[in-house]
Each structure stands twice: as structure tokens, then as C-alpha cells.
């Protein structure tokens, strides 16, 4: 297998020295099924089918999720026969990024290939005390939000749990990742099963054993997905709000027609979040659109009685939209308005603006090239 392992091709703008040796050239994707991305239960079934001892499944999860190898041949505590049987039908299943852009503020944007020459983006955001990875959950997106460049790609396909977790495992900072946010390309609850499976792999003792409190999944507000997610996972929830007014939100986010924000918040209010689980609302501030005292008043009414936080986000302008970003003073003023209404509000620091920070820009550029 070693001769198939290539280091990632890095673009000219890349300053990163990739040191891992587990990269598989995307051009050499095989038709074999990946082991990476399988749960312990799936591996137990798999080893039973191959006639291998039951404990082999746990040995395999250790190699997949706890160690730093890249081929089945390196699973040295498995018998030779077991490795041969696995190699016949399966591959290890890691995929390297093909491009990395590095911002002057240290933020990195990784471009990963998926099947059929499509691409997804993953951001790594370093802060003083943490390294957060922002993963994609779909290739493109079908939700059509006006302010989003990924929306302009349209929907290109779903990511498997393995492809989601690969975005954490196959970046240079893999061993230092402290937090994961599902805020990259795609709507996580439009790919709910694979997203939940990826969270299982990230949080299970046999997997990456991360605390679910270090994981946040962001949705535009798909109610059935929210309810299943709240029931089946313990990770934090973030909801993209952007305006409390129906007509305004419909123009920004077509999902408002199917799932009005009023209904989304009503469902969330019914849920007992316990002491440690968090719900927050993402609010991109657009110039002359959603930052008036009336918006603050309506937000206070909408969120009344819910323990939550609003994160104000600067808009990264994307080509082809009329939307603009307000200046810092306007955002600060809106934050104060919300704080006065009793809503805990923070302004999210703007990161990586010099490297196509708006989600979807980099992958669209690659898509157009192919």
C-alpha cells in the first residue's frame, strides 16, 4: 500500500508543511469500502462476516481513531490472515487535502476532494487556548440562503460520516483539535444520519473520545432534524437566525417558508437543555437590514424565557449578492441594544478574511477549474 501514499499537493499560496504520511492521492481512489468512518457496531458485524474473532472490531477502532497509521497492513496486532481478509474488500480510508490556504491571522482553509471531482472546505481556526475545526457536512447545499456562496454551487452530494471525520483527522493540526463546529458547507440536518454517526465516532470511548460539549452543530432551523439531534446527541446546538421578521427572513433564507423561526424557537423552548448543553443563535449583521432597535425588540420577544446567546457575525461579502457588511461601530451598537434587552450577545471575531473566508468560495473556484 505504501506506494499509493502520496503527500498532498499543496497550492502555491500554501505555507503549510504537511508531515503526515497517511495521505492517499484523490486520483487513486479505489472502489474498496472505507474502514474509516465505521462505528464499533458496524465493525463487529464486518468482522463476524469475515469469520474473525469479535475482539478484532475493537482492535480496528483503536487503529482507526486512536493511532496514527494509514493502512490496514500497519494494524500489527491483527493476524496476517485478518489483514489479508480486510485488504481484499476494504481500504483504510483517509483522504488528504489537496490545497491549504493560510491566513495572516493563522486561520487555515483546507480543500478536500470528494468523489467525482467535487470539493469541500474545512477551516481550522486557532485561538489562544483552542483550535477549532469547522467541518462541512455536504458537498454544496440545497438551502439557497441569499448570503451564502456555497448556495450558489447548488447541491452536489452528501458526505459520509467518514468524510466528515476525515476533515478532523487529516489536517496537520489533527492531534491538537479542541473544538469542532459543523458550520462549513451544507446543512447538517439535511444529512442527519451521517452527521449523527460522525458525532458518535468523535465522542465514543472507542472513537476519538471527545466531549460532546466541545462540538457544536449549526442549522438553519430544520425542526425534525433539531428534535432528533437533541434526542440522540449531547452536542451543542446553534441556529442561524439572522432576522426575527418573517418576510425579511424568507428573503434571506427560503427555509423560513417550511420552518418559520417562531416555530423553531418554540420547539427549542420546549426542550430541557440541562446545565451544560448550550443553544446559541447565529446572527449575520447586514448593512441597513437587520440591526435596528425594532430588530432588537423583536429578538427579545422571540427569545424571551430561553437561556441562550446570540453571536453577531460580520458578513464576509460574496460575489453576486447585494448584501453588505456594516462597520464595526454599527455592530457594536447593535450588540449593546441586545444586551440592554437582556440577551447575552457576543461579536464573533472575524477570521481568515484574506483567504476566501466566506464558506464555499474556495471550493467553487476549484469546481469551476474542473
**Which of 179-187, 201-209, 333-341, 347-355 is the region at the interface with ligand SF4 (rule: CB under 6 A)?**
179-187
State the catalytic residues. 121, 359
Nearer to ligand SF4, 150 or 166 (CB): 150
Per CB under 6 A, does 148 bind ligand SF4?
Answer: yes
Q: Phi and psi of 351, rounded to 5°?
A: -125, 145
Three-class SS state of 152: helix
Nearer to ligand SF4, 20 or 109 (CB): 109
Q: Phi and psi of 259, rounded to 5°?
A: -130, 85
Question: Could you give the CA distance from residue 31 to residue 48 in angstroms, rounded to a whole number?
Answer: 22
- Considering the complex, what minimum distance in angstroms separates the CB of residue 84 from ligand SF4? 42
Q: Is 209 exposed, middle or buried (0-12, 13-18, 19+ CB in 10 A)?
A: exposed
Q: How many CB atoms lie within 10 A of CB 210?
A: 19
**Which of 23-31, 78-86, 119-127, 137-145 is the region at the interface with ligand SF4 (rule: CB under 6 A)?**
137-145
- Considering the complex, what minimum distance in angstroms separates the CB of residue 1 from ligand SF4? 35
Q: Phi and psi of 353, rounded to 5°?
A: -65, -25
Ranges within 206-235 binding ligand SF4 (CB under 6 A): 220
Binding marks (x or -) toward ligand SF4, 39..58, rule CB under 6 A? Answer: --------------------
Exposure string for 246-267, b = 16+ CB within 10 A, e = fewer: eebbeebbbbbeebbbeebbee
β-pairing verdict for 108-113 and 119-127: antiparallel
Nearer to ligand SF4, 68 or 263 (CB): 263
Nearer to ligand SF4, 163 or 187 (CB): 187
**Residues 95, 107, 132, 150: which binds ligand SF4 (CB under 6 A)?**
150
**Which of 64-72, 184-192, 221-229, 337-345 is the region at the interface with ligand SF4 (rule: CB under 6 A)?**
184-192
DSSP labels for 224-246? HHHHHHHHH--SEEEEE-S-S-H
Nearer to ligand SF4, 51 or 322 (CB): 322
Task: Please report, in angstroms and rounded to a whole number, the separation of the first and last CA atoms in the chain.
Answer: 28
Binding residues vs ligand SF4 (CB under 6 A): 141, 143-145, 148, 150-151, 185-187, 220
Amino acid at each position: 500500500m505504501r506506494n499509493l501514499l502520496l503527500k498532498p499537493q499543496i497550492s502555491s499560496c500554501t505555507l503549510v508543511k504537511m508531515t503526515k504520511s497517511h495521505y492517499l492521492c484523490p486520483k487513486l481512489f479505489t472502489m474498496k469500502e472505507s474502514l474509516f468512518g465505521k462505528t464499533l457496531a458496524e465493525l463487529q458485524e464486518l468482522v463476524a462476516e469475515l469469520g474473525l474473532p469479535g475482539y478484532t472490531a475493537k482492535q480496528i477502532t483503536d487503529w482507526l481513531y486512536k493511532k496514527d497509521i494509514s493502512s490496514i497492513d500497519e494494524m500489527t496486532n491483527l493476524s496476517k490472515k485478518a489483514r489479508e481478509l480486510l485488504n481484499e474488500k476494504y481500504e483504510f480510508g483517509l483522504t488528504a487535502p489537496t490545497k491549504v490556504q493560510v491566513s495572516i491571522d493563522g486561520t487555515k482553509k483546507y480543500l478536500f476532494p470528494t468523489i467525482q471531482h467535487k470539493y469541500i472546505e474545512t477551516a481550522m481556526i486557532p485561538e489562544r487556548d483552542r483550535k477549532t475545526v469547522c467541518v462541512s457536512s455536504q458537498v454544496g447545499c440545497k438551502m439557497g440562503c441569499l448570503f451564502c456562496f456555497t448556495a450558489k454551487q447548488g447541491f452536489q452530494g452528501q458526505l459520509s460520516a467518514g468524510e466528515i471525520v476525515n476533515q478532523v483527522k487529516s489536517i496537520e493540526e489533527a492531534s491538537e483539535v479542541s473544538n469542532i463546529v459543523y458550520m462549513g458547507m451544507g446543512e447538517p440536518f439535511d444529512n442527519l444520519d451521517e452527521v449523527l454517526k460522525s458525532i458518535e465516532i468523535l465522542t465514543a470511548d472507542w472513537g476519538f473520545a471527545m466531549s460532546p460539549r466541545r462540538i457544536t452543530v449549526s442549522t438553519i432551523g430544520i425542526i425534525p432534524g433539531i428534535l432528533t439531534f437533541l434526542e440522540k446527541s449531547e452536542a451543542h446546538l446553534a441556529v442561524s437566525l439572522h432576522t426575527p421578521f418573517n418576510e425579511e427572513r424568507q428573503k434571506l433564507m427560503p427555509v423560513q417558508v417550511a420552518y418559520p423561526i417562531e416555530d423553531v424557537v418554540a420547539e427549542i423552548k420546549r426542550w430541557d437543555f440541562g446545565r451544560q448543553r448550550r443553544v446559541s443563535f447565529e446572527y449575520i449583521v447586514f448593512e441597513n437590514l437587520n440591526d435596528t432597535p425594532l430588530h432588537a425588540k423583536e429578538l427579545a420577544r422571540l427569545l424571551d424565557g430561553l437561556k441562550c446567546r446570540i453571536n453577531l457575525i460580520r458578513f464576509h461579502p460574496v460575489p453576486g449578492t447585494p448584501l453588505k457588511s456594516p462597520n464595526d461601530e454599527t455592530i457594536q451598537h447593535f450588540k449593546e441594544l441586545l444586551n440592554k434587552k437582556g440577551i447575552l450577545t457576543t461579536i464573533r471575531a472575524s477570521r481568515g478574511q484574506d483567504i476566501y473566508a466566506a464558506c464555499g468560495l474556495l471550493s467553487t473556484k476549484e469546481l469551476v477549474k474542473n
